[in-house]
Amino acid sequence: MAERAGGTLPTARVRAEATEAKVVVRGLSVRYTSSRGTLTALEDISLSVQAGEFCCVVGPSGCGKSTLLRVLAGLIPCAEGEVRIRSDGPQRPLTAMVFQDYALLPWRTVLDNVAFGPENRGVPRAERYRLAREILAKVGLSGFEHAYPHQLSGGMKQRVGIARALANDPEVLLMDEPLAALDAQTRNLMQEELLRIWAEFGKTVVYVTHAIDEAVLLGDRVVVMTARPGRVKAVVPVDLERPRTLEQKGSAHFARLYNEVWQLLREEVSAASREAGGG
Amino acid sequence: MTGAAARQTLRAVRVDARSLAAAGILVAGWEFLPRRGLLNPAYFPPASQVVAALAEGLSAGELLPHVAATVSRLLVAFFLAALPGLGVGVAMGLSGTVRRVADPYVALLYPIPKVALLPLMLILFGVGERAFVLTGALTAFFQIVVNTMDGIRQVDPTLVEVGRNYGATRFRLFWKVVLPAALPGILTGLRLGLGLTLVTVVAVEFAIAKSGLGHVVWGSWQTLTTPRMYAAFVAVGLLGLLLTRGLKRLQDRLLAWQTSVDVW
Ligand SMILES: Nc1ncnc2c1ncn2[C@@H]1O[C@H](COP(=O)(O)OP(=O)(O)O)[C@@H](O)[C@H]1O
Ligand SMILES: [Mg+2]
């Protein structure tokens, strides 16, 4: 297991009236210290996300996107700066993360994976299974309750990952490149699924991706990050009308937004690959 | 018996026809090579003689006490080692401090064949069961420590993050995430520990004990009763097969969620 340097502040839970936005990040910097020295992963990140917003984050690989989500998830202490998540239900967990490689517990059935969060919080068995079945039905996995993860396709595994996060009913849903491991067709299908699920559950989402089309299709805003150390380079509002469909990817408006994000991103991507290439 | 019925029976006892065929060829060779004079029967008695010696030894009750002696030493040694081995392995796997403190000792002692510690045990405990069993227990202990520690260290850190992000307490993080994830490594350690402890126990019996299958092998050499010696070999082999098969079956049952492939 990874050992982490003890930091100072965990992600703070604040009461509803204390802040307007659902998520507030102010002046956040994160450094990793290892035997090879100190690496600045994030530098002076400031960002706020409104309740019910779908906020996408794009940036070159290694720029600190996963690090940002880990801080929001409370997995890395926030040593410098401030992270606040507004809590609207005192019993609700602040965050639930959906991971790129699914990160399902392979020894648990689908049902027990989805019920994992409520189980940890002491929700009685009958109640948490009822909840898990209900959510599995909503993500289209009825009938697979007793399957094990290794019996499922990638797309189905990620539906389980999403169901697990929804079953935990978090204040904010964090998604770290959830579709990156899927083939192109499945990814398209899952993008539609995500739009439908988001509309149904109305969650606040922070969604990391490296696919610009995905960010534009899903997001209310696209946050573009710089190459490492990651900073916020620009925030692009996406004014495509909702409910959104895959067909919108073909529109001129979509292409304009795609290009805007790509222009912001391209020099960062080449900076990142120059650094990777030059060691 | 029809072919299908035979296959079904084999499946029921979980023996693959290919394994059975390989064993058949070995036994056939073992029977006919000495009989044809291609192998010296004084050194390599035919399989039927060995089986006869084994059957006679078991039915006449002459071998049985030795089998019992070996089995009881093995089991006592194994269970003496398992609990502390699991405990130390888990502690070393979870805590960097414990690992840094204990690692030099484990690294130093693990590779020593534990039979080599028998003289020390004899000095400490005198010639007797305590010394024999403890020598065997040391073998199992270090094997279990090393595999348990590695099993826990190799747990996917993302799964630990899942546990923490989904609200598992430290207690539940260990019991519901880390331990199940490390179980394959832990069970492998137990299986190897049991097998290697059998090796140590037989070697100890060989060297000094007045009972047990190792002792039978040594005694048969001195009196040149080779069929009896082979009978003891076969008994040790079957014992090992039985025990590790049993644990393997437990492992397969507990780890049904894992997938494995035959590469060829
Ligand atoms: N636990 C860690 N220890 C040291 N460096 C890390 C650790 N995690 C990530 N990094 C480094 O921090 C940088 C940002 O990583 P990450 O947040 O995973 O980027 P992204 O998700 O945008 O690809 C990378 O250079 C990565 O190598
Ligand atoms: Mg990442």
CA distance B249 to B127: 36
State phi, psi for A235 to the nearest 5 degrees.
-125, 120
* Residues of chain B contacting residue A99, judged by C-beta atoms under 8 Å apart: 158, 161-162
CB pairs A-B closer than 8 Å = 69
pLDDT of residue B153: 97
Question: B13 vs B192, which has greater pLDDT?
Answer: B192
Averaged confidence pLDDT in chain B? 91
Q: How confident is the model over B88-112, as pLDDT tens digits?
A: 999 999 999 999 999 999 999 999 9
Orientation angle between helical segments B226-254 and B179-207, nearest 10 degrees: 170
Assigned CATH for B64-254: 1.10.3720.10
- For residue B2, what pLDDT band results from cuts at 50, 70 and 90? low
- Give SS3 for A32: strand
User: Is the peptide bond prior to A243 cis by the omega test (within 30 degrees of 0)?
Assistant: yes
pLDDT of residue A14: 63
What is the value of ipTM here, to two decimals?
0.92
Structural element, H or E, at residue A233 = strand A232-237
Write out residues with Cβ below 6 Å of ligand 1.
Answer: A 32, 34, 39, 41, 59, 61-67, 228
pLDDT of residue A8: 46
Residue in chain A nearest B253 by alpha carbon: A107
Low-confidence ranges of chain A (pLDDT < 50): 1-8, 279
pLDDT of residue B17: 86
SS3 of chain B? CCHHHHHHHHHHCCCCHHHHHHHHHHHHHHHHHHHCCCCCCCCCCCHHHHHHHHHHHHHCCCCHHHHHHHHHHHHHHHHHHHHHHHHHHHHHHHCHHHHHHHHHHHHHHCCCCHHHHHHHHHHHHCCCHHHHHHHHHHHHHHHHHHHHHHHHHCCCHHHHHHHHHCCCCHHHHHHHHHHHHHHHHHHHHHHHHHHHHHHHHHHHHHHCCCCCHHHHHHHHHHHCCHHHHHHHHHHHHHHHHHHHHHHHHHHHHHCCCCCCCCCC
Q: CB contact, 8 Å: A181 with chain B?
A: no
* Residues of chain A contacting residue B162, judged by C-beta atoms under 8 Å apart: 97, 99, 103, 105, 116
pLDDT of residue A10: 57
Interface test with B, best of A94, A107, A169, A176 (most B CBs within 10 A): A107
Mean pLDDT of B21-33: 92
Token pair recorded at residue B173: 């993080």
Q: Which of A148-157, A243-252, B12-21, B234-243 has the lowest mean pLDDT?
A: B12-21
For residue B110, the CA-to-ligand 1 centroid distance in Å is 36
For residue A74, the CA-to-ligand 1 centroid distance in Å is 16
pLDDT of residue B257: 86
For residue A62, the CA-to-ligand 2 centroid distance in Å is 7
Could you give the domains of chain A?
Answer: 2-94+170-277 (3.40.50.300)
pLDDT of residue A3: 34
Q: How close B94 gets to chain A, by Cα (Å)?
A: 7
Mean pLDDT of B210-233: 89
* Residues of chain B contacting residue A149, judged by C-beta atoms under 8 Å apart: 257
Domain boundaries, chain B: 64-254
Closest by alpha carbon to A16, among A82, A88, A65, A73?
Answer: A88
Nearest atom, ligand 1, residue A177 CA: 21
CA distance A52 to A35: 41
* Residues of chain A contacting residue B165, judged by C-beta atoms under 8 Å apart: 73-75, 95-97
Closest by alpha carbon to B80, among B173, B197, B184?
Answer: B197
- For residue B223, what pLDDT band results from cuts at 50, 70 and 90? confident
Nearest atom, ligand 1, residue A176 CA: 21
Please list, in sequence order, all residues whose beta carbon lies within 8 angstroms of the beta carbon of residue B9, skipping any fewer than 6 positions away.
B1
CA distance A205 to A203: 6
Please list, in sequence order, all residues whose beta carbon lies within 8 angstroms of the beta carbon of residue A237, skipping any fewer than 6 positions away.
A220, A221
DSSP A131: H
Calculated CA dihedral for residues B208, B214, B220, B225, nearest 10 degrees:
180
Q: How confident is the model over A22-60, as pLDDT tens digits?
A: 999 999 999 999 999 999 999 999 999 999 999 999 999
CB–CB of A106/B257 below 8 Å?
Answer: yes
Token pair recorded at residue A6: 């003890």
pLDDT of residue A5: 37
CA distance B203 to B237: 14
